[in-house]
Chains A and B, each alone.
Chain A
């Protein structure tokens, strides 16, 4: 009986499923729009993006996650957007801008045809208001420091706004434009201390190509076409849905089943499979590959026990530098890099998505130096350097010693990151071959970061995501040893001087020469062993046309994406649009 009932239910399930299969919604007439270049583009279509976690807030000044920033960038315009060269800008809310003769005033001229969803015009007052939110300590926006050199923002009239700077430096336009413009008339009455929990953050009102429709916590965020968007005929898609799926395997499965259309940062091995399958016509998911924004490195604790003066350096109670017997010696750090076969690591775990890296400046930035000296894989050199530094295997147990101490250390990394765990395992093996014993310790992410921050490590495999400014102050400058991210306690006055000079230099050619010099100092000193720079591998269903993705990200021109009428999967009922 029970069995029969089960079978019946199963049949009923299949029947009903096929009855409501397909995309749902009614198929309708497709309307076309003719663009300025004469191209006829069908309107409509849904994009479904898979996200591993929910966003924190839909207010750009409260949100701290990358995906939150991507989603708000579709709803809120910024003054301008950066070009692929990562140096120049394309007009957006601002039509044009110019500097005063002394370069301390930057004037933006706004469009007069941009409106908030509630038909109120976007004006210079909104820009002034947004700036005041950006720099308010009670709001505590994570990028507040970008506004450090802006001391005043004034609206001259509805479409003219002036930024006053305290300094003249290369990133003035970038700093003025960072941070989307939010509506003053809806937020001016919210006390700044309550901005974090404002109702607006759950139901934002914007001026971008897409507008907010709904947010089911931990499930999905739905945006729909903003019919009053200022670029006529755009956007072409009528809906973007962000689905939150907390498990990576399920996310990949959903990409394969077509439940989601787009997935960012597919793991290298899966991405390799996707590329092969797409080439062979076995999948509709098209791979997109471009230079990413992050890299992995090993940080070596460089505090020298002999030169270490605790009274001089101990500035904060909770932060104590612990001298390290191994890596204070530059010969040892260089030996480590010689002993690590980075080409092999990239081949073993990268599947084509990891590229070589020698120094701290990312290949996407203008100051990248492709002729930076390399420390190649060379065990003879590694052995030589270790012996020179006094580390010799005298008792024949395979591990080098000095003054009775074994060369045995612990490397820490965060658990749950398969790439880093595998890299650690490979490195362990490589170092054993030059008589160095390395133990691997995996730590929960926040614990790991806390330990890095508090300098409780001998060596750590970690990563940085790179910003768009060329500056190494926070990671390698001696003034960042205690209160910033110079985990390794690297101190080199010569480097400090060059870095400080280069970062304020207006002339790019001159600045590049200094950055080349600064990088060579770091390569020589090896406070880090730079392991590899990562490419991003994204997957997107092939029905989407005119897609641009590059080192700036995947959300650059969603207003231009469109779906051919005969490949359309989802239909939103007319009355719901």
Chain B
């Protein structure tokens, strides 16, 4: 098992480098440069040249690449052109904010998805199952920006129950620590719901399907025949086997913990990675684009690895040598 993990990591690292090198050159193919957006009759071409020089973009591309790669292996992501500060400072807040939101959303979606999926399968074709099928289809098909805006209209504009966006309210700094905690809670409810609900719906469908397949198998009948209680059959025998596809889903969701969700972050004014990435792309802020890509890349690799390891944990038949 250990040597398997080592081997996987050995393959992963060159892959990440290859990916980053590609990103480095591909983003340069995009038209314009970091100064193109300052289009204004007062903005002189000489100023443009000065700015490009300041960013180190006046040198040939291979020189820039070499400079970037030597810095990168030393853990230096460079300076953001657009935010005028080290890339690490731009990203560190964004990663934290995205992780809180995405982790909660993932938790909500897994818990509700798995539980409701099991219940639906047990009571197949019941009124509950039908209601779940319809609502999961509804939430799954709903574009998240629309769902987000509707929830804002209902809960913020009409009912005044929840804030329309942001992570904390204006008076956050003047609140007691309990007040600050609660302030964070009310701000995160809607984005977690929007982000979690679509994947909860799909998790539920996976869980239901997989569960239905399992409970028709012989070993379940055997378990029942030997007198194991129905609850125990479902929890111990069926669920443990039915959860395998969900583990894959979980592994694939890990990158999303740090890559962020652009739409939800924009609609709810959540300062996370999705927004940082998209802003950087539009501003041609090359160092930030590469850094966010690097993180996303690494997380995809880790996610796949974790999923493979989890297989071995939940399924005794899977072994890695």
Contact = CB atoms under 8 A, between A and B. Distances in A.
Interface string B166-181: 1111110111000100
Contact of B161 (A14, A53, A572): A14
Contacts, number: 179
A196 B54 contact: yes
Nearest to A25: B174
Interface in B174-192: 174-175, 179, 182-183, 186, 189
A13 B94 CA distance: 27
Interface string A32-53: 0000000000000010100001
A144 B47 contact: yes
A78 interface: no
A249 to B, nearest CB: 6
A246 B44 contact: no
B306 to A, nearest CB: 29
A81 interface: no
B170 A197 contact: no
Contact of B79 (A196, A447, A484): A196
A contact face: mostly helix, strand, loop, or mixed: mixed
A245 B41 contact: no
A311 interface: no
Nearest to A218: B271
Interface in A445-480: 445-447, 449-453, 464-467, 474-475
Interface string A207-251: 000000010111110100000000000000000010111110110
B269 A145 contact: no
B15 interface: no
Contact of A20 (B47, B161, B182): B182
Size bin of chain B's contact surface? 35 or more
A388 interface: no
Interface string B81-107: 011111000100110000000000000
Contacts of B175: 24
Contacts of B235: none
B79 to A, nearest CB: 6
B32 interface: yes
A391 to B, nearest CB: 32
Interface string B56-87: 00000000000000000000000100111110
Contacts of A53: 279
Interface residues of A, number: 73
Nearest to A259: B164
B43 A241 contact: no
Contacts of B169: 24
Given A142-B43, A217-B90, A218-B93, A450 B85 contact: no
Interface in A184-211: 193, 196-197, 201-202
Contacts of B182: 16, 20
B268 A572 contact: no
A512 B50 CA distance: 35
A140 B275 contact: no
Most buried by A among B44, B170, B182, B282: B170
A7 to B, nearest CB: 14
Contact of B40 (A48, A216, A445, A465): A465
B218 interface: no
Given A216-B93, A576-B174, 4 more contacts: A145-B42, A218-B275, A246-B275, A253-B164
21 contacts: A2-B115, A24-B171, A138-B54, A140-B47, A141-B47, A142-B42, A144-B50, A145-B47, A197-B84, A218-B93, A219-B168, A222-B173, A244-B269, A246-B266, A249-B149, A256-B157, A259-B163, A445-B37, A446-B36, A446-B284, A464-B41
